[in-house]
Structure 1
Amino acid sequence: MKNGNYIKYAFGSRCCHVDAVHAASPRADRFTDEIVTGIMAKTGCAGIIGTVSRTIADLNRPPGQGNDEAVWEYRDVISQFLYHSGLLAPGDRNLASPYLHVGIHGMKDQLHGPLSIEVGTIYGKTCSVGVRKWFGETLKARMKTVLPGTKVVFDKHWVGNQSLAAHRWGEGRRYSGYGKNYNAFQVEIARTLREHYRPEVIAVLAGVVAEFSGMFSRR
């Protein structure tokens, strides 16, 4: 992995990246860095792991006081991933075909239960209707096969931050976004799943990434 000032990252061979922006203590989403590393190893996709605590600079927020430099470093690396994937022509900002961004986060067991995952899309603003439907059906089916008692919900409590939608639709003049082919999901995983069923979670999410490449990639 390459080291930046606020993140470490690696390029991949798929039209997808996974990240764990809250992996650093204090207030870390524990085990999310291991999940991201595991998905990268199984699929060859790109990945980003935060190396700065959200208490210092939160990468899951728009740039502003205290986190401006960190967020722009994070966004610049995403841009590098997109050009590396071949989906962006030089000087262009609109993706030529679908791209998948899976953000791995951690939530407490108490919200939906110890075997639960909540996916945030800001009520569909971070992805297309078709990809959202496919992602939900695929994730639920794969989790049911591996851990039948797992509960998967969408946009109930952790719906995602507006900075996630900015990759798709932009953020005014300062960040134009990459258009309708950018599909981002904030995946909140309960503590029990992260701690005790990490291999199963990694296998499921790696399968989702691999299936996306086969279904939506035009490369």
Structure 2
Amino acid sequence: MKKGNYIKYAYGHRCCHVDAVHAASPKADRFTDEIVAGIMERTGCAGIIGTVSRTIADLNRPPNQDNDEAVWEYREVIGQFLYNMGLLAPDSCKLARPYLHVGIHGMRDQIHGPLCIEIGTIYGRTCSLRVKKWFGETLKDKVRQALPEVRVIFDKHWVGNPSLAAHRWGEGRHYPGYGKNYNAFQVEIARTLREHHREDIICIFADVVAEFSGMFSRR
């Protein structure tokens, strides 16, 4: 993995990246770095792991006086992923075909119970309706096969931070966004699942990434 000042990252060969922006202590989302590394290893997709604590610079927020340098390093690496994979339209910063961004986060068991995954899309702002429907159906099917007692819910408690939508729609003149083909999901995984069912979680999301590449990324 390459190392920046606030993140470490690796390039991939799929139209997707996974990240764990809250992997560093204190206040870390425990085991999210291992989950992201596992998905990357199984699929060959790109990935980012935060190396700075959210108490110092939160990468899952719009840039402000506390996190400005860190957020821009994070955003620039995402841009490098898209450029190096040749995914941007000619003479444009917009994506020419669908792209998937899966942000792996951790929530307490007390939010929805110990066997739950919540997907945040800011009520559909971070992704297309088609990809949201596909993602939900595919994820639920994979979960049903591997961990049938686990619930998958959308946009209830952790709906996603506005900074996630900025990759799609932009945020002021300095960050125009990559357009309607950018599809981002904030995935909140209960502590029990992250700690005791980590390999199953890795396999589930690796399968989702692989199927996205096959379904949406044909030239």
TM-score, normalization by structure 2: 0.99
What does residue 22 of structure 2 align with?
Answer: 22
Contact 1:158 1:188 in 2 (8 A): yes
**Residues 1:35 and 2:64 aligned together:** no
| Partner AA of 2:212 in structure 1 | F
What does residue 143 of structure 1 align with?
Answer: 143
Alpha-carbon distance between aligned partners in 2 of 1:18 and 1:99, rounded to the nearest angstrom: 11
Q: How does 1:7-86 map to 2 (within 5 A)?
A: 7-86=7-86
What does residue 198 of structure 2 align with?
Answer: 198
- Deviation of 1:14 (Å): 0.2
Deviation by residue 1:69-96 (Cα, 9 ceiling, x = unmatched) = 0000000000000011211146411100
SS in 2 for 1:186: strand
Alpha-carbon distance between aligned partners in 1 of 2:183 and 2:25, rounded to the nearest angstrom: 28
- Deviation of 1:171 (Å): 0.5
What does residue 94 of structure 1 align with?
Answer: 94
| Partner AA of 2:52 in structure 1 | V
- Deviation of 1:65 (Å): 1.1
Q: How many equivalent pairs are there?
A: 219
SS in 2 for 1:19: strand
**Residues 1:6 and 2:6 aligned together:** yes
Deviation by residue 1:140-162 (Cα, 9 ceiling, x = unmatched) = 11001101100100000000000
Alpha-carbon distance between aligned partners in 2 of 1:91 and 1:171, rounded to the nearest angstrom: 20
Q: Unaligned stretches of 5+ in structure 1?
A: none
Contact 1:83 1:89 in 2 (8 A): no
Alpha-carbon distance between aligned partners in 2 of 1:173 and 1:165, rounded to the nearest angstrom: 15
- Deviation of 1:218 (Å): 2.3
SS in 1 for 2:47: strand
Alpha-carbon distance between aligned partners in 2 of 1:183 and 1:173, rounded to the nearest angstrom: 21
**Residues 1:124 and 2:91 aligned together:** no
SS in 1 for 2:152: strand
Alpha-carbon distance between aligned partners in 2 of 1:34 and 1:71, rounded to the nearest angstrom: 22
Deviation by residue 1:160-211 (Cα, 9 ceiling, x = unmatched) = 0000000000001121000000000000000000000000000000000000
Alpha-carbon distance between aligned partners in 1 of 2:90 and 2:59, rounded to the nearest angstrom: 26
Moved more, 82-91 or 44-53: 82-91
Moved more, 142-151 or 82-91: 82-91
| Partner AA of 2:202 in structure 1 | I
| Partner AA of 1:203 in structure 2 | C
Contact 1:22 1:29 in 2 (8 A): yes
SS in 2 for 1:153: strand
Distance 1:183 1:197, change over 3 A: same
Q: CA RMSD in A?
A: 0.8
Contact 1:43 1:209 in 2 (8 A): yes
Identity over aligned pairs, percent: 79
SS in 1 for 2:19: strand
What does residue 162 of structure 2 align with?
Answer: 162
| Partner AA of 2:192 in structure 1 | T
